[in-house]
Amino acid sequence: MSNAAWSEKILQLLRRMNNFYSPGSCLSSCFRFEIDGAQVGWIPPHVASLLTRYQEVFSPPHGGAVSLRQSLDSHGRRSEAVDSVLQALRQEDSLPCLKGWRDEKYSVMPKFSDPPLMWMERAATSLFGVKRYGVHINGYTVSDSGEVSMWLARRSPTKQTYPGLLDNVAAGGLAAGVGIKHTVVKECEEEACIPAYIAEAAHPVTTVSYTYEDEEGVFPECQFVFDLKLPLEFRPRVGDGEVQDFYLLPMDKVKELLATDDFKPNSAMVVLDFLIRHSFIEPDTEPRYQEFVAGLHHTL
């Protein structure tokens, strides 16, 4: 693949992962999701119409917003009331994303630094355009001669999302009430059998942010990215069954794979960021450098 063709494929990936901002997206027709006057998400029109049946929980759309009732004035009341609505909608089988119910609680707040206003089932967050947070770990090695290679995971063929695609060595969503570094260590241990004493050396380097829409709703996401230099003699092993295999690849091969359909899209973004930060992609030789950087850090 020529350099120009590679760059174009990467731009297509970034546009797809930020398509909520594109002309013709549902952004202009979405309702703001508000709790106590603060916006915490975006509700697509077909979801807003379903919520009008639950007026003891949601106020009818007004002024471009759908709000929780003021009487739901605590974290617990809001969480339980919304969960009861979601359980009812789940029984109806009309919203595909609820078939992937995970029993995982995600915090809902305007900004990550704000106190959570409620929790919501992970599988339902796209119905409300609630921002989801996660961690992604770049596991890499440096040879005695200085050559950098990266460990990639191949996702299990039975994974609910993106089965069989290439992924970072470990990654996972940030559950309500669980710390970021704790999640990094836990995911490293569970997915790749990386012991805690090694995983603790992972250090935070950036965030990657994007918002996309599909038939299941709106996905504003922010990934906390960590780099983990692994010992040359260490080999990740399949842990909890979410991965089927691991590969150690030179960075030119990793870069080549990014422009294929063999990579989980947001993980490809995390690896692209690694390539930029470690100067495998440089502005003098990559004409789309600035567009790449902008596409990795796009947030409302």
| pLDDT (0 to 100) of residue 178 | 94
Letter string b/e over residues 42-68, b meaning 16 or more CB atoms within 10 A of that residue's CB: bbbeebbebbeebeebbeebeeeebbb
pLDDT at residue number 93 = 80
- pLDDT for 55 equals 95
The answer on pLDDT for 300 being more than 80 is no
Tell me what percent of the residues of the chain surpass a pLDDT of 70: 100
Output the six-digit token pair for 207: 């965030």
Does residue 269 carry a pLDDT above 90? yes
* Residue pLDDT, tens place only, 182-194: 999 999 999 999 9
Looking at per-residue confidence, does 293 or 62 come out higher? 293
> Which residue, 179, 105, 171, 98, is CA-closest to 139?
171
Please give the model's pTM, rounded to 2 decimal places. 0.94
Q: Two tokens at 111?
A: 């900004």
Q: Which of the four pLDDT bands, split at 50, 70 and 90, describes residue 83?
A: very high
How far is the C-alpha of 42 from the C-alpha of 44, rounded, in Å? 7
The reported pLDDT for the residue numbered 288 is: 97
Q: What is the pLDDT of residue 242?
A: 84
Which residue segments constitute the domains of the chain, with CATH numbers given?
3-20+132-296 (3.90.79.10), 26-128 (3.30.750.160)
